[in-house]
A and B are shown apart, each in its own frame.
Chain A
Amino acid sequence: MLDLVNLLIFLIFSLPLILGILMVLCKACYSKWVFGIEIGFIIAGLLGLGLLGEQKVVSSLSFMGEPITFSISTTPLLLYLGTLLALSALVWRHSRVDEALLPRYQFVLLNLSLSFGFIAFISGQFMIRFIALEIVGLLAALTVLSAFADSLSYKRFVFIFQLLRLGDLSILTSILLINQHAHTLDISQMIKAAIDLPVNVRTWILLGFLFALLIKLAVWPFGHWLQRIRETTVGVHFWISGFLMPSLGYYLLYRIIPILTSDILFQNFTLFLGLVLIILILLANILRLVKFDRFTQMSGIYGCFLLGAVAFGASQYLAYYILGLILYRLVLFLQAEAPSLMSKSVVTLMPIAINGFFIWVNFNHYPMAFMAGWVLLTGLTAYWNVRMTAQKFSKTREISPTRKFHTSNDISEGLILKSAQWLYQKLEIDIFSNGFSQLGDFFNRIAAWLNTNIEQGFERLWSWSGQKLMAISEVTFLTFEVDAAEKTGALVDDALSSLDIYEQNILKRSLRLDLVWIPLLLVVILAFLFVV
């Protein structure tokens, strides 16, 4: 049994990887159906793994002294299946719309993300998962690159990569903190050990994870990366950033539930966080302050719903809830791409159905207040969803350098408008939009200041000290060399011209400085010998 599992894992991982690398090296030589067959094979493999049952697989390989393990269980497989379904849908849509083959670039990125995404889902060891997450992040950022000559797309890439890297760094912090105490990299054991840690360490760990999750789930205000990708990427490889990354984020959130629920403080905080973020996003959207499109916003909001849902611990059908969220993303995406395909009612009613089903199934699990809030917010979100549909938010394909405030004649409350304007200006433009670029500028300015004042200050210090040394030498040179030489010359000329009266004058000769030193030194020595 185990060998079959190993073989399956190996095949599912290596097939896309090899295909992707092959595509890099040789020109497009695949037919339309290759990709489809590949996805089909992976789905079949996943189903097979699922049928083989939940187990932990220890491979014979190890990396950096830690054995590479895999943990096969239903949840990750399910989630990955859902994500793959989305991919199939995207591919099908592409083949319907576009006769051409998938461009080589997209194909390579998709294949690589297929293999590493798989690893990230089933990895039993945090280091390998982290590595896979990083690589997926890099691939997601790479999707915006279009051509060598396009420096604008490269700037986008840099922004996205840095933001994703920031998220990864906070995951790294949390992983290392747990690892320090748990002395193991096995995920389940680490999570178990993390629960026993002191509260302040757990706070750091949780904050690290939550911050990373906010970025990965593209929750406003950390979702700018997704928005930028959304605006510029039109191919199938949008799947990496729009579906794979958030799914990985969902799964990560799912795994850290034990840490979340280990202290009432954390639960409250997570709940509060989810709540506040939903309200903020809704508010910002209702007042038309943000330019995120519906896909990004809704996925962000439902990510916050998930946060709230997990605050009370793992409940029944949570995995299915997440699956539902993934499918809803697909629906949103298709609706934006091909409005004719999806009826508006599906888009509006589906989240209500998912949320409602979830809360109905977990009726006993959650307190009343929570359920009331859940229903209320679901309603609000749906309402706004309808409003959004009505207003036909169009997707822009260029990045506007500065986000201009979008006035609307629907808003009538002046006070709310003014405060919203102020809020928008401060938060969205100043901090989160210009802010990031200003942060970059800020760093550049610090760097330039440091450069002129400290680096070149060192240069100046060095040349100052070098000059000072030369100056001292110069002064001594002038005083002792030139002047003394002149004095010596004058005296010796006198002596030479009057050699015959030398014996008489020797005692009366004006003592030159160096001759004076002789008895002076003698006196010093005598004093030293007799007095000291």
Chain B
Amino acid sequence: MSGLFIAVLPVSILIGGAFLIYLVSRFFQLSNRFESLLTVLVLIGTLVALIFLYNQIPDLAGRPDAFFGLSTPGGILWKPNALGVFILIIATVIGILISVFSGEYLSRDPRYLVYYPLVLLTLAGLMSMFLSNDLFNLFLLTEMTTIAASSLIAFQYQHENAIKASFKYLIMSSLGTMIMLLGIYFVYRSTGEMHLDRVLASPDNFTRIGAACFLMGFSLKAGVVPLHTWVPDVYGNAPSAVSGLLAGVLSKSMLFIVPVICLRLGMTRVELGTYLMVFACFNMLVGSIRMLKQHLLRRFLSFSSIAQTGYLMFGLGIGFYYNLDQGLSAGLYLFLVIAVMKCLAFLSAGIFQFYSGSQDIESLRGAGNRMPITAFCFSVALAGLAGIPLLAGFTGKWMIFSASLAAGDLFSVICLGIFMVSTLIGLAGYLPILVKQYQPPTKAGIFLNPAERAPRVSRWMLAPVTLLAILVLFIGIFPAPWINLVEQVMGWMLI
């Protein structure tokens, strides 16, 4: 192995940390909170490494040896790239917040020992997916991510639905990954290479088949209609923190691997753009419409997530189809804000479920009185998802509008129309739920323990939620530095 150790440092910290934490906690019989703290420490270390790596990227851009691993055929390769590192920084921050959240959320679950390592492993898998520069590595770590994620989804195994959801996810993802393996076969068959840099030199029909396979596989993991059916089950039944991680970062980031891989494998930008825009329309519509009639809060949020994936795809699709940088920046900026807002939404939903014992939307009634801070943060999340100005989502909406109107084509305008319809329907979905929090509870009262009049929400859960809410407000009022960051990443990507 030669090359840049820094490229693989974050992953090593994560994987090493995962095993270490498990051993230490097992050996010293640490409590949930202590283990959560350890996880946070590990993640902070990873974050530092990632930031360091990020700052190095401009220097590394031109160097041909800026990778870690074997560059012989069949060797695995890690190569840092700006987009990947940026997404991973976001993922790590979300991971930190989730770990803090889980410090209280898992307090009733005796199996917390394996939880944190699994989280770290999932993140590690995600990290490698972005940092790896060869297909085999990609495949391997996608599998790892899938398995770790499935285990996490089924964490509350006493609920049958969790098992079923995890199973569904596992089956579908595995099928997808199998097809990706098929794609790898085609690529290898045609070029004899698995290193993405070298494949780029000679794309032909077989690599394009491979590209198609990868596109489909990652679409499945991202939750693109019609392969989205696992999304509501998974987000609805996994532990809330896990849903936050999955919905916020994991599935959306798959959309960013797609261009990196598929474009190198011979797919043209226009083709990719068309695919993204067409399926974005489906996503937007399906997500918004099916959101309206949900009874369970997290399932509702999952459909909202499908719609948000649609918006992301729309932005990226415009960027690729029309070669507009605005579209790509819109997509990346949206990813950032959606990650924050979705995580906030799921974590708040988790707090509600934790203290009321039910996922039903009707149990939200009176939350404004019982848990005012959480209700406020949830309102911020919902309002941000709806695109209310001065919250994070609005600037993203503005950027999508700008990008599609800058394209000026009939196709983009039609998709923009669908986008507008979707946001309108979304409004009709978010608003009643936001209001429900402040409505008085009905006589029947769905609370399982009425003694919990005004539960004191644990600080472990409240802190990340409040932090995220403040972040949403901050990004909304001062979007400039974040847009700068996104543009910097975009600039570095073109290097």
Residue on B nearest A522 in the bound complex, by CB: B216
Cβ-defined contact, A514 with B212, below 8 A? no
Q: Which of B168-176, B335-343, B464-472, B475-483 contacts A (4 or more CB under 8 A)?
A: B168-176
Q: CA A529 – CA B209 in complex, angstroms?
A: 8
Chain B residues, CB < 8 A from A481: 290
Cβ-defined contact, B167 with A492, below 8 A? yes
Cβ-defined contact, A470 with B292, below 8 A? yes
Q: CA A519 – CA B293 in complex, angstroms?
A: 30
Q: Check if A530 is an interface residue, CB within 8 A of chain B.
A: yes
The number of chain B residues with a CB under 8 A from chain A is 33
Cβ-defined contact, A526 with B227, below 8 A? no
Cβ-defined contact, B292 with A528, below 8 A? no
Contact among B163, B226, B271, B290 with A529 in the assembled complex (CB-CB below 8 Å): B271
Q: Check if B215 is an interface residue, CB within 8 A of chain A.
A: yes
Q: Check if B254 is an interface residue, CB within 8 A of chain A.
A: no
Cβ-defined contact, A514 with B226, below 8 A? yes
Q: Check if A135 is an interface residue, CB within 8 A of chain B.
A: no
Residue on B nearest A506 in the bound complex, by CB: B171
Cβ-defined contact, A514 with B205, below 8 A? no
Chain A residues, CB < 8 A from B215: 525
Contact among A496, A514, A530 with B227 in the assembled complex (CB-CB below 8 Å): A514
Residue on B nearest A526 in the bound complex, by CB: B212
Cβ-defined contact, B212 with A518, below 8 A? no
Q: Mark B216-238, 1 if CB is under 8 A from A, else 0.
A: 10011000001101100100000
Cβ-defined contact, A472 with B289, below 8 A? yes
Q: Check if A489 is an interface residue, CB within 8 A of chain B.
A: yes
Q: CA A489 – CA B237 in complex, angstroms?
A: 14
**Given contacts A484-B229, A515-B172, A530-B208, A522 and B267 within 8 Å (CB-CB):** no
Q: Check if B4 is an interface residue, CB within 8 A of chain A.
A: no
Q: Check if B185 is an interface residue, CB within 8 A of chain A.
A: no
Cβ of B229 to closest chain A Cβ, rounded Å: 4
Cβ-defined contact, B212 with A522, below 8 A? yes
**Given contacts A518-B227, A521-B216, A521-B226, A529 and B164 within 8 Å (CB-CB):** no
Q: CA A474 – CA B215 in complex, angstroms?
A: 32
Cβ-defined contact, A473 with B168, below 8 A? no
Q: CA A525 – CA B171 in complex, angstroms?
A: 21
Chain A residues, CB < 8 A from B172: 514-515, 518
Q: CA A511 – CA B310 in complex, angstroms?
A: 26
Q: Check if B156 is an interface residue, CB within 8 A of chain A.
A: no
Residue on B nearest A478 in the bound complex, by CB: B293
Q: Is the interface of A mostly helix, strand, loop or mixed?
A: helix
Chain A residues, CB < 8 A from B88: none
Q: CA A136 – CA B209 in complex, angstroms?
A: 90
Residue on A nearest B229 in the bound complex, by CB: A514
Cβ-defined contact, A529 with B219, below 8 A? no
Cβ of A409 to closest chain B Cβ, rounded Å: 78
Q: Check if B275 is an interface residue, CB within 8 A of chain A.
A: yes
Q: CA A474 – CA B290 in complex, angstroms?
A: 9
Chain B residues, CB < 8 A from A514: 172, 226-227, 229-230
Residue on B nearest A525 in the bound complex, by CB: B212
Cβ-defined contact, A518 with B292, below 8 A? no
Sorting the interface of chain A by its residue count into under 10, 10 to 19, 20 to 34 or 35 or more gives: 20 to 34
Cβ of A521 to closest chain B Cβ, rounded Å: 5
From 385 to 405 in chain B, residues with beta carbon under 8 angstroms from any chain A beta carbon are none
Q: Mark A493-532, 1 if CB is under 8 A from B, else 0.
A: 0011000000000000000001101110110011011101
Cβ of B42 to closest chain A Cβ, rounded Å: 34
Cβ-defined contact, A473 with B212, below 8 A? no
Q: CA A473 – CA B175 in complex, angstroms?
A: 30
Chain A residues, CB < 8 A from B213: 522
Q: Check if A437 is an interface residue, CB within 8 A of chain B.
A: no
Cβ-defined contact, A521 with B292, below 8 A? no
Cβ-defined contact, A521 with B293, below 8 A? no
Chain A residues, CB < 8 A from B293: 470, 473-474, 476-477
With a 10 A CB-CB cut-off, give which of A470, A525, A526, A528 has the most chain B CB atoms.
Answer: A525
Chain A residues, CB < 8 A from B167: 492, 495-496
Cβ-defined contact, B226 with A489, below 8 A? no
With a 10 A CB-CB cut-off, give which of B167, B211, B216, B292 has the most chain A CB atoms.
Answer: B216
Cβ of B369 to closest chain A Cβ, rounded Å: 29
Q: CA A515 – CA B176 in complex, angstroms?
A: 10
Cβ-defined contact, A518 with B164, below 8 A? no
Cβ-defined contact, B292 with A517, below 8 A? no
Q: Check if A480 is an interface residue, CB within 8 A of chain B.
A: yes
Residue on A nearest B292 in the bound complex, by CB: A473
Q: Check if B274 is an interface residue, CB within 8 A of chain A.
A: yes
**Given contacts A521-B216, A521-B227, A529-B212, A515 and B289 within 8 Å (CB-CB):** no
Cβ of A472 to closest chain B Cβ, rounded Å: 7
Cβ of A64 to closest chain B Cβ, rounded Å: 41
Chain A residues, CB < 8 A from B267: 529
Q: CA A532 – CA B278 in complex, angstroms?
A: 15
From 463 to 491 in chain A, residues with beta carbon under 8 angstroms from any chain B beta carbon are 469-470, 472-474, 476-477, 480-481, 484, 488-489
Cβ of A401 to closest chain B Cβ, rounded Å: 54
From 81 to 100 in chain B, residues with beta carbon under 8 angstroms from any chain A beta carbon are none
Q: Mark B120-133, 1 if CB is under 8 A from A, else 0.
A: 00000000000000
Q: CA A496 – CA B219 in complex, angstroms?
A: 27
Cβ-defined contact, A473 with B289, below 8 A? yes
Residue on A nearest B179 in the bound complex, by CB: A522
Q: CA A254 – CA B299 in complex, angstroms?
A: 83
Chain B residues, CB < 8 A from A495: 167
Chain B residues, CB < 8 A from A515: 171-172, 175
Cβ of B408 to closest chain A Cβ, rounded Å: 23
Q: CA A515 – CA B230 in complex, angstroms?
A: 10
Cβ-defined contact, B216 with A525, below 8 A? yes
Q: CA A529 – CA B233 in complex, angstroms?
A: 32
From 401 to 447 in chain B, residues with beta carbon under 8 angstroms from any chain A beta carbon are 425
Chain A residues, CB < 8 A from B275: 525, 528
Contact among B164, B220, B274, B425 with A488 in the assembled complex (CB-CB below 8 Å): B164
Contact among A476, A477, A484, A492 with B164 in the assembled complex (CB-CB below 8 Å): A492
Q: CA A67 – CA B227 in complex, angstroms?
A: 77
Cβ-defined contact, A530 with B205, below 8 A? yes
Cβ-defined contact, B290 with A477, below 8 A? yes
Chain B residues, CB < 8 A from A529: 208-209, 211-212, 267, 271
Chain A residues, CB < 8 A from B233: 488
Contact among A469, A474, A484, A521 with B219 in the assembled complex (CB-CB below 8 Å): A521
Chain B residues, CB < 8 A from A477: 290, 293
From 444 to 479 in chain A, residues with beta carbon under 8 angstroms from any chain B beta carbon are 469-470, 472-474, 476-477
Cβ-defined contact, B179 with A489, below 8 A? no
| Other 4 A-B pairs with CB < 8 A, given A522-B213, A522-B216 | A514-B227, A515-B175, A521-B219, A528-B275
A-B contact pairs, 18 of them (CB 8 A): A472-B289, A488-B164, A489-B164, A496-B167, A514-B226, A515-B172, A517-B227, A518-B172, A521-B219, A522-B179, A522-B212, A522-B216, A526-B209, A528-B275, A529-B212, A529-B271, A530-B205, A530-B208
Interface residues of A (CB under 8 A from B): 469-470, 472-474, 476-477, 480-481, 484, 488-489, 492, 495-496, 514-515, 517-519, 521-522, 525-526, 528-530, 532
Interface residues of B (CB under 8 A from A): 163-164, 167-168, 171-172, 175-176, 179, 205, 208-209, 211-213, 215-216, 219-220, 226-227, 229-230, 233, 267, 271, 274-275, 289-290, 292-293, 425
